Structure 1
Amino acid sequence: MIRLFGILCCVLLLNGCSGLGTDDTGEGNQLEGDEAVNTEELPLDDEEKVDLEPKELLDIDATVKIKKVWRNSVGGTDDVYQETLRPAVADGMVYAASNKGRVSAWSVETGDRLWRRDLDLSLSGGVGVGGNLVAVGTPKGEVIALDRATGEERWRVALSSEILSAPVVQDDLLVAQTQDGKVYGLSVSSGEELWRYTVEVPVLTLRGTATPLVTKRMVITGFANGKLVALNTETGALIWEAKLATGEGKTELEKMIDVNSPVMGNEVVYATSYQGRAGGFSRGTGRELWAQKSSSFFPPAYARGRLFVVDTEDQVLRLRSSGGRAEWTNTDFLRRKLTPPVVVGTHVLVADGEGYLHALSQVDGSVAGRVKVDGDGVAIAMATDGEIIFVQDNDSDLTAYRIIDK
């Protein structure tokens, strides 16, 4: 669980250990007994060392070529918030942000830059695009809205806690979720708060929050308490609530059950959770249609009645959306720190922590093609317009690729 260790380090360091609470003197409480964390470096025997190494890539008989279309620098190479800034694609443009505060817009086809805005502050959540806005979030809980055509700042507002997912724009509503268990509905024109929904979050959570799924009538999102909720877009009132995961075990680590960003297909809402379940729920009522034990850091990808999941062991699975049964499992990438999956055409794509981009056949999960993106790896979720894949690597370069049959 190397990735989990890194995420937890971020929780403790970047939140100033606030999740562990304080006593009346302001001193941080100490975990005791089963919850105590031994920070001493323990020696590993040879077998354990092998188990921690990324699985070596197998030779493949490639049936497709992953061709680079263009490459540009986003700016900023700090590891902090690296995984929470995802490019966004809309109407022939791709938008990307760096944790150093730079936001840029490029042509999907040519990579020509339309605009660049240096905000001179750290960014931690994004990128959201909709209507006339491009929106990003900061570690201090600010939502910053930029003009989509020019990059000029339109407004900014301060919310309750850091923002670790992309704000979502739907018509006149901008929805942002904060790390402390709140979802805000803001006016697109001014940033004025229209409503707020709050849940209590556990002591420890994964480093990140779900990106809400917003429709005309509902805001659907997941929380670190294992729940999936649907809210009214106009009022923020609760429409339904479903339990995807229940914390089990004695320690706070064992009880972590964060629900990832939901996706939707054919009026069914699908979600995965950490140390919990994957499941399908009725969009209208929240009724559980199916669920099965599963653990993932990431949301699934949906295409043609199938779900594609990367689990916490870096296995890639295809599940039937009607019942959750696994139809194939690819174990070629164990411990390679995969990104969330994206679907392009007849392939599902993942990138890894050593900088490779892999194209898998949707039919049987076999590896159809591979390309080296960057030596420092890829941790950020990829984006696509359905034809071109956009990969933002750990050096903060954005590269566009096409899949071409050989």
Structure 2
Amino acid sequence: MELRNYLVLPLILTTLLSGCSLFNYEEDVIKMSPLPKVENQVHLQKVWKSSVGKGVGDFYSKLHPAWLGNSVFAADRFGIVKSLDTFSGKEKWRIDLSEKTGFFSKNISALLSGGITVAGDHIYISSERGRVFSLNSSDGSIVWQTQLNSEALSCPVVSDGFVLIHTSNGALHGLDQNTGKEKWDLNLDVPLTLSLRGESTPATAFGGAIVGGDNGRVTAVMIKRGQIIWQQLVSLPGGTTEIDRLNDIDSTPVIVGNVVYALGYKNVMTALDLRSGEILWKRKIGGVRDIVVDHGNIYLVDKEDRVIALTADGGATIWSQNALMYRALTSPILFNGWLIVGDSEGYLHGINTIDGHFITQKKLGSKGFQSDFVVADDKLIIQSKDGDIYALKKHL
């Protein structure tokens, strides 16, 4: 049995948030925290609004905008990819990657799921159908496309002449950046029991890639050869139910100096030595969203949607903001020195990084957010679940 991210978190949350218990016991009901009342100390101003297709809806997806210079790139699940002007939001080009089935037939959704990644003059995006695309960033034309043997759910990562893709069967693939030809694939193993939908996007440094696995392991791989350097088991399955035994590490590891920081679902926030994989410290904090490491602090959203700040050198708690629990938060991002998260009702929440108090709140539509936000110079680029794209900046 396989239970992927969009089934574990949103399904449980929507079931519970509707006021019904998963087990029909009143004491098991978990409700979304009410919207906190915030007196805005700073303000976010909308610079422009655009859209890209129908977005991702309620499907789990790692699709998010990307930015380079004068262009913002965005995509929807169906297959629409657009380039927008960074300053005005005006469309520069558009391509449809859905499959053409005939003159009178509807196109088949491309099921885009991972990306967008920008590297040089190209953008990269992957799909649940196992396809990886390289497009010209100037006009959207297809440079190459490669078919893999499993869903490509992670974001493509470009490093050392390779495009790295972590697929749902637990394999890490190394594709030639220029041609898309598969140079190697490495089996990182997947558990035989329940797992979350989604795969860890690799982090890269010094010719190596660090990636989390569904088996509770963090693996270091030599990119040019596709060889394992080390593997470290950081989380063991345990509990009486399959959900209790979920053991995935789906968030993107973060490399700072010679330390790797990895967050797993099963109550494990871990710091490891980059060279050896030795565990430096652990904390019983679990989650699936990507983390931020900045100026000696770690910022994360745990699986109950607490926003937490830790010290990077030992994992001590600095503060915990619990007013947004079960609001299905996005990964956090730093913007203008604040921490920003979005929620499932379409609200943005700005949090002071020093003590965790709210400094701003803004409503953007009603469909909510799932994808990671992007900072583009002085602008914050956001994509809602229905495909609306917003550019915001600090109001002076």
Q: TM-score scaled by structure 1?
A: 0.86
Q: d(CA) in 2 for partners of 1:10 and 1:68? A: 28
Residues 1:152 and 2:130 are matched in the alignment: no
Give the deviation of 1:107 after TM superposition. Answer: 2.7
Backbone CA RMSD of aligned residues: 2.3
> What is the one-letter code of the residue matched to 2:242?
E
Residues 1:182 and 2:171 are matched in the alignment: yes
Identity between Structure 1 and Structure 2 (%) = 29
Runs (5+) with no aligned partner, structure 1: 12-39
Q: Is 1:343–1:386's contact at 8 Å kept on the other side of the alignment?
A: no
Q: Is 2:65–2:381's contact at 8 Å kept on the other side of the alignment?
A: yes
Q: d(CA) in 2 for partners of 1:386 and 1:366? A: 25
> What is the one-letter code of the residue matched to 2:89?
G
Partner SS state of residue 204, structure 1: coil
Residues 1:59 and 2:37 are matched in the alignment: yes
Task: Please give the per-residue CA displacement for 1:240-289, whole angstroms capped at 9, x wherever unaligned.
Answer: 21222111123332211111211122332111000131011122222222
Give the deviation of 1:359 after TM superposition. Answer: 0.8
Residues 1:87 and 2:65 are matched in the alignment: yes
Task: Please give the per-residue CA displacement for 1:292-330, whole angstroms capped at 9, x wherever unaligned.
Answer: 111102121111111101001110000100111110000
Closer, same or farther in 2 for the Cα pair 1:64/1:10, shift >3 Å?
Answer: closer
Q: Which residue of the other structure, out of 279, 284, 288, is the alignment partner of 1:293? A: 284
Closer, same or farther in 2 for the Cα pair 1:43/1:254, shift >3 Å?
Answer: closer
Match of 1:277 in 2: 268
Question: 1:194-205 residue pairs with structure 2 within 5 A?
Answer: 194-202=183-191, 203-205=193-195
Question: 1:313-332 residue pairs with structure 2 within 5 A?
Answer: 313-332=304-323
How many pairs does the alignment contain?
373
Question: 1:106-125 residue pairs with structure 2 within 5 A?
Answer: 106-120=84-98, 121-125=110-114
Q: d(CA) in 1 for partners of 2:22 and 2:231? A: 42
Residues 1:350 and 2:341 are matched in the alignment: yes
Closer, same or farther in 2 for the Cα pair 1:195/1:78, shift >3 Å?
Answer: closer
Q: Which residue of the other structure, out of 346, 353, 362, is the alignment partner of 1:371? A: 362
Q: d(CA) in 1 for partners of 2:339 and 2:252? A: 18
Give the deviation of 1:86 after TM superposition. Answer: 1.6
Q: d(CA) in 1 for partners of 2:86 and 2:259? A: 31
Q: TM-score scaled by structure 2?
A: 0.88
Q: d(CA) in 1 for partners of 2:23 and 2:231? A: 43
Q: Is 2:299–2:310's contact at 8 Å kept on the other side of the alignment?
A: yes
Closer, same or farther in 2 for the Cα pair 1:118/1:228, shift >3 Å?
Answer: same
Partner SS state of residue 112, structure 2: coil
Q: Is 1:265–1:305's contact at 8 Å kept on the other side of the alignment?
A: no
Q: Which residue of the other structure, out of 193, 196, 203, is the alignment partner of 1:213? A: 203
Q: d(CA) in 2 for partners of 1:372 and 1:9? A: 23
Residues 1:389 and 2:367 are matched in the alignment: no
Q: d(CA) in 1 for partners of 2:8 and 2:319? A: 31
Residues 1:100 and 2:78 are matched in the alignment: yes
Residues 1:142 and 2:131 are matched in the alignment: yes
> What is the one-letter code of the residue matched to 2:36?
L
Q: d(CA) in 1 for partners of 2:24 and 2:281? A: 43
Give the deviation of 1:158 after TM superposition. Answer: 0.9
Closer, same or farther in 2 for the Cα pair 1:264/1:404, shift >3 Å?
Answer: farther
> What is the one-letter code of the residue matched to 1:228?
V
Match of 1:228 in 2: 218
Q: Which residue of the other structure, out of 291, 295, 300, is the alignment partner of 1:304? A: 295
Question: 1:256-275 residue pairs with structure 2 within 5 A?
Answer: 256-259=246-249, 260-275=251-266
> What is the one-letter code of the residue matched to 1:79?
G
Q: d(CA) in 1 for partners of 2:169 and 2:138? A: 32
Q: Structure 1 residue runs of 4+, over 6 Å off?
A: none
Q: Is 1:82–1:394's contact at 8 Å kept on the other side of the alignment?
A: no
> What is the one-letter code of the residue matched to 2:234?
L
> What is the one-letter code of the residue matched to 1:211?
T
> What is the one-letter code of the residue matched to 2:226?
G
Q: Which residue of the other structure, out of 117, 121, 130, is the alignment partner of 1:132? A: 121
Match of 1:7 in 2: 7
Partner SS state of residue 7, structure 2: helix
Closer, same or farther in 2 for the Cα pair 1:216/1:114, shift >3 Å?
Answer: farther
Give the deviation of 1:6 after TM superposition. Answer: 4.5
Partner SS state of residue 221, structure 1: strand
> What is the one-letter code of the residue matched to 2:86?
V
Give the deviation of 1:131 after TM superposition. Answer: 2.3
Residues 1:247 and 2:225 are matched in the alignment: no
Closer, same or farther in 2 for the Cα pair 1:216/1:118, shift >3 Å?
Answer: farther
Match of 2:101 in 1: none
Task: Please give the per-residue CA displacement for 1:149-196, whole angstroms capped at 9, x wherever unaligned.
Answer: 211001111112111121111242111110110001110111111111
Give the deviation of 1:337 after TM superposition. Answer: 0.7
Closer, same or farther in 2 for the Cα pair 1:267/1:345, shift >3 Å?
Answer: farther
Q: Is 1:81–1:124's contact at 8 Å kept on the other side of the alignment?
A: no
Q: d(CA) in 1 for partners of 2:152 and 2:65? A: 16
Closer, same or farther in 2 for the Cα pair 1:233/1:163, shift >3 Å?
Answer: same
Residues 1:173 and 2:162 are matched in the alignment: yes
